[in-house]
């Protein structure tokens, strides 16, 4: 009898920039994504993180914002109110992109840390499209992955505590696409790292 082989996973690094701590009262202003790699029963194969990417800037959904949160991204909220993509349009385009790049595999969102980005992404997907290409739990946190491999408490983990060979060569810029690409590289490094 042949072994049951699971469907491969396609890991997609996602980064968002927002103007507050939670979705609803506050807005996701930009969404960047990059294919990090694919995993099947034979192992993990990294992708070129710049080869398959997605980026949109979105129109805010409320008048509320937290100035320090907005300042992190450097995005102009007034410009986004006039020129940003309608959230429903942007999230439908994102879903279509995820479905295209993950053909034959199950898409998994990965982030560093994933909790913030996943909260906004999942809320926006459900609010504006009614579904998520990742399902309700297709999310992997890189910080947790590192903590498990390094045998460290989660709260002790920061990029500055990671070994040099794990860290990405790209800078963290707080531009959602730049950071999604940077984190895709980090993810592939973590997948290759044997741990301690």
Catalytic residue positions? 174
Residue 30 φ/ψ, nearest 5 degrees: -150, 155
Distance CA 35, CA 14 (A): 9
According to DSSP, residue 84 is labeled S
Answer whether 118's CB lies under 8 Å from 143's CB.
Answer: no
Which candidate, 40, 50, 15, 45, places its Cα nearest to that of 30?
A: 15
Distance CA 60, CA 146 (A): 34
Distance CA 43, CA 144 (A): 20
């Amino acid at each position: 009898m042949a072994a049951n082989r699971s469907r491969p996973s396609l890991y997609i690094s996602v980064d968002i920039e927002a103007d507050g701590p939670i979705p609803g009262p506050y807005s996701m202003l930009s969404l960047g994504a990059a294919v990090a790699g694919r995993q099947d029963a034979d192992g993990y194969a990294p992708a070129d993180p710049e080869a398959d990417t997605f980026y949109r800037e979105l129109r805010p959904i409320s008048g509320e914002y937290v100035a320090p949160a907005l300042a992190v991204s450097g995005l102009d909220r007034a410009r986004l109110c006039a020129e940003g993509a309608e959230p429903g349009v942007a999230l439908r385009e994102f879903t279509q992109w995820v479905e295209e790049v993950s053909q034959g595999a199950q898409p998994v969102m990965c982030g560093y840390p994933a909790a913030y980005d996943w909260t906004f992404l999942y809320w926006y997907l459900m609010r504006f499209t009614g579904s998520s290409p990742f399902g309700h739990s297709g999310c992997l946190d890189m910080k947790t992955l590192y903590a498990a491999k390094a045998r460290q408490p989660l709260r002790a983990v920061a990029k500055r505590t990671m070994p040099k060979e794990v860290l990405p060569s790209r800078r963290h810029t707080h531009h959602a696409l730049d950071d999604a690409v940077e984190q895709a590289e980090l993810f592939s490094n973590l997948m290759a790292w044997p741990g301690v």
